[in-house]
Structure 1
Amino acid sequence: MYGVGFTIFYYPIIGMVNEFWIARRGMAYGILCSSSGVSGTVMPVTLEALLHRYGLPTTLRAVAVGLALSTGPLIPFLRGQTREPEQAQVAVSQTDWGFLRVPLFWIYTTSNLMQGLGYFFPSLYLPSYASTMGLGSTRGALLLAVMSVSQVLGQLSFGYLSDRRFSVNVLTLTSTLASATAVLTLWGLAQSFAVLGVFAIVYGFFGAGYTAMWARMGTAVASDSTAAFAAFGLFNFGKGLGNILAGPISAGLLLDHVDTIKYGAFRYEAVVIFTGSCMLASAASATAAYFKPWKAVSARV
């Protein structure tokens, strides 16, 4: 029910943004995607305090009421509008699924799926990793808050750059390679709060920046806004698969023994390596766009 409610609420808003913003669509998506990171700067610490004081049932009810009160009154102000000519509106009333035959779409889809498979592990295990290193749950929540702030900046930056004639392929490689480097070095070798903090900043900025490029990936493979929005939904679906699979995969990667001196505190070694490998696989998939001059609709690729 939570997932269905999220979809019903989220996608009409995305559709409205897609209709109105054209030249600066990447920036618009970056702002929209980063807004969740704004709340993430305070929610981890707030939830930690609520759980300790009131317990799980009361905390969940408080979150539910807070969501209803903070979003419900804004719904009447959400109205779709478009700046496209009337003829173009008629032309795109039916989604053109021709982009499914564009090789570049499948290159992006593969890269996105690989990135999604590993993306969620740091946010899932950073607090427990901090506790394993003897840093306590409060510092673990603080690391998530730091990562959320960095995610906001990353999504704003990558969304803006994707509109400023920066190649989507270059931005994709930058995002995934920087994320892989941060995971395999900073996270895997971290033994202090300072190093974990630097990791949270670097990974949050570059890892989250990938999502902000979905808009321009869509316009690179589709000729109209309706089809580009459909491509955006499929990219979101691909990353959602990674979110679903993260739990079962991690269950088989975590080890029982802990050794804070070893790589990844030993218990998280396989998780760190898997996450970094997914980012490298995502980068490797994206490089396929350079092997052949794939004909794309957008000149921004």
Structure 2
Amino acid sequence: MDSTELRNASDFRRSPQDNDNTTVQASSQEPPTTQSLPPCDVGLAAWRLLLAAFVFEALLWGFPLSFGVFQDYYSTLPQFKDNSYISIVGTTASGISYIAAPIMVPLIRRYSKYRRQMIWFGWPFCILGLVAGSFAQTLGALIFTQGIMYSVGFIIFYYPILEMVNEFWVVRRGMAYGLLCSASGVSGAAMPVILRTLLERYGYPTTLRATAVALFLLTGPLLPLLKGRLPDTGVSAPVKTNWRFIKRPLFWIYSVSNFAMGLGYFFPALYLPSYATSNGMSATKGALLLTLMSLAQVFGQLSFGYLSDGKVPLTLLTITSSLVAAIAVYTCWGLASAFHTLAIFALVYGFFGAGYTATWGRIGTAIDSEPNAAFAAFALLNFGKGIGNVLAGPIGGALLNTNLQAGRYEGRAYGRIVMFTGSCLLVSAATIVVCFLDAAKLSSVLRKLKVITSFR
């Protein structure tokens, strides 16, 4: 979803017993009871599932990532023109998918025998949200249909698919997730331009209905291919999680940094097309900026994920991601009035900004090496970014300045949004600097603060 964070969850979903069983099943000396199972990491069944998951990810997650095009278009319509909170539609669609992580993963594991039923229910419900949205004439109706209905259906069918991929791909899981990671970026390179063309020619009701039909036809035939390696009753029950990591300073350092990143990260994708058109550029160029950002995002996530695997210190990667993205916001975006400058911003921001979430798997294990605790920490980080995502809509609406004042950076229509975005990213980077402090010194500071507070 920007979905690296969801895919990384799969690394923490198995208990140690599950991993041991998978190792045995993947070896050449399998016990007789596992001979009927398809092999891990190779074979037609594994690749069939992975390619089907790739299509679902590219199309059904790529659509909400392209909402900036819809926002730019909605803002030109009489019924939505004077409403500065249109962005809530997009942030709701993507934000719920993040927030649901701590809830959906345990449910999928506990009720694994119903995974296929979840897919068959969530998939049409997700598409139905677009059809219902085509009849919306108010912002509230759009939020409920294109935002809430779409995202609820998405999380119901998408998490079971990820669990199935986790069963098939074990030794080569990095390769499999890398391929899935590129799916939303690949679709994000083309979908904004296609949607922009449809919106200009046919309007949003026809565009939403045509998109729903296309998603139905392109993904429907692939539903029978979504089968896990293990029987639905063969996935182990969840193991009790030790929540000791909540008391560790490192967890709170990354939680604050991650929340600050999530609070500011989504604004460029939401407002870049509108920013471009407000500077006299065509709507097509605004959509092209999202395309460039999506392409850069693919390379950024793959690079940061690869480097986080023990090749570069985690703190350096996360600080670099937030800091470079903040600099790009303040300069290339905040001062830009030409397309080529905004194109540079889209490439730099897409590469470095998206790289942060690719380190989440490593952040979880750095906080706690125990698999279930690491996943719990990961899920809470996911939840924190989701909260920031949802808040981005109303905050953006409040910050958008329709009273233009030429010659003043903060007085421009998007000036306050730019300042807020850059500030959030700077806070994210500055918070991680605390990681360089000695753990004992940090604990001592926290104890002193507690004593001072108690004294007061």
The TM tier, using the shorter chain, reads 0.7 to 0.9
Matched, 1:171 2:303: no
Q: What is the CA-CA distance between 1:148 and the residue it aligns to?
A: 0.7
Find the aligned partners of 2:177 and 2:361 in 1 and give their Cα distance: 7
Distance 1:185 1:27, change over 3 A: farther
The unaligned stretches of length 5 or more in structure 1 are: 83-88, 295-301
Q: Which residue of 2 aligns with 1:68?
A: 216
Matched, 1:40 2:188: yes
Distance 1:160 1:79, change over 3 A: farther
- The answer to which of 248-257 and 180-189 deviates more is 248-257
Question: CA contact under 8 A between 1:187 and 1:272: conserved in structure 2?
Answer: yes
Distance 1:180 1:19, change over 3 A: farther
Q: Which residue of 2 aligns with 1:58?
A: 206
Cα deviation code 1:199-228 (max 9, x no counterpart): 000001000111111111112123333333
Q: Which residue of 2 aligns with 1:299?
A: none
Q: Which residue of 2 aligns with 1:247?
A: 393
Q: Which residue of 1 aligns with 2:266?
A: 120
Q: 432, 436, 443: which is aligned to 1:286?
A: 432
Question: CA contact under 8 A between 1:26 and 1:160: conserved in structure 2?
Answer: no
- The answer to which of 206-215 and 67-76 deviates more is 67-76
User: Which structure ranks higher in relative contact order (CA pairs < 8 Å, sequence separation ≥ 6)?
Assistant: 1
Find the aligned partners of 1:102 and 1:249 in 2 and give their Cα distance: 31
- The answer to which of 15-24 and 230-239 deviates more is 15-24
Q: What is the CA-CA distance between 1:137 and the residue it aligns to?
A: 0.9
Q: What is the CA-CA distance between 1:288 and the residue it aligns to?
A: 1.6
Q: What is the CA-CA distance between 1:174 and the residue it aligns to?
A: 0.6
User: Structure 1-normalised TM-score?
Assistant: 0.85
Q: Which residue of 1 aligns with 2:362?
A: 216
Q: Which residue of 2 aligns with 1:234?
A: 380
Find the aligned partners of 1:161 and 1:289 in 2 and give their Cα distance: 19
**Aligned 1:1-301 pairs, distance under 5 A:** 1-16=149-164, 29=177, 31-80=179-228, 93-258=239-404, 262-263=408-409, 266-293=412-439
Cα deviation code 1:124-169 (max 9, x no counterpart): 1111111111012111011111111111111111111111432111
Q: What is the CA-CA distance between 1:37 and the residue it aligns to?
A: 1.7
Q: Percent identity?
A: 60
RMSD: 2.7
Q: Give the secondary-structure state (helix, strand or coil) at the position aligned to 1:42.
A: helix
- The answer to which of 158-167 and 258-267 deviates more is 258-267
Find the aligned partners of 2:303 and 2:365 in 1 and give their Cα distance: 18
Question: CA contact under 8 A between 1:118 and 1:275: conserved in structure 2?
Answer: yes
Aligned length: 289
Find the aligned partners of 1:78 and 1:103 in 2 and give their Cα distance: 41
Find the aligned partners of 1:281 and 1:144 in 2 and give their Cα distance: 25
The higher radius of gyration belongs to 2
Find the aligned partners of 2:347 and 2:195 in 1 and give their Cα distance: 21
Find the aligned partners of 2:170 and 2:310 in 1 and give their Cα distance: 13
Distance 1:103 1:164, change over 3 A: same
Question: CA contact under 8 A between 2:401 and 2:414: conserved in structure 1?
Answer: yes
Q: What is the CA-CA distance between 1:15 and the residue it aligns to?
A: 4.2
- Give the aligned residue type for 2:210: A
Find the aligned partners of 2:169 and 2:247 in 1 and give their Cα distance: 26
Distance 1:267 1:90, change over 3 A: closer
Question: CA contact under 8 A between 1:19 and 1:225: conserved in structure 2?
Answer: no
- Give the aligned residue type for 2:215: L
Distance 1:61 1:231, change over 3 A: farther
Find the aligned partners of 2:168 and 2:372 in 1 and give their Cα distance: 12
Distance 1:144 1:162, change over 3 A: same
The unaligned stretches of length 5 or more in structure 2 are: 1-148, 441-456
Question: CA contact under 8 A between 1:118 and 1:242: conserved in structure 2?
Answer: yes
Question: CA contact under 8 A between 2:326 and 2:425: conserved in structure 1?
Answer: yes
Distance 1:68 1:95, change over 3 A: farther
Find the aligned partners of 1:111 and 1:126 in 2 and give their Cα distance: 24
Find the aligned partners of 1:23 and 1:167 in 2 and give their Cα distance: 24
- Give the aligned residue type for 2:155: T
Q: What is the CA-CA distance between 1:93 and the residue it aligns to?
A: 3.0
User: Structure 2-normalised TM-score?
Assistant: 0.58
- The answer to which of 196-205 and 234-243 deviates more is 234-243
Cα deviation code 1:33-54 (max 9, x no counterpart): 4421211101110000111222
Find the aligned partners of 2:229 and 2:253 in 1 and give their Cα distance: 32
Q: Give the secondary-structure state (helix, strand or coil) at the position aligned to 2:269.
A: helix
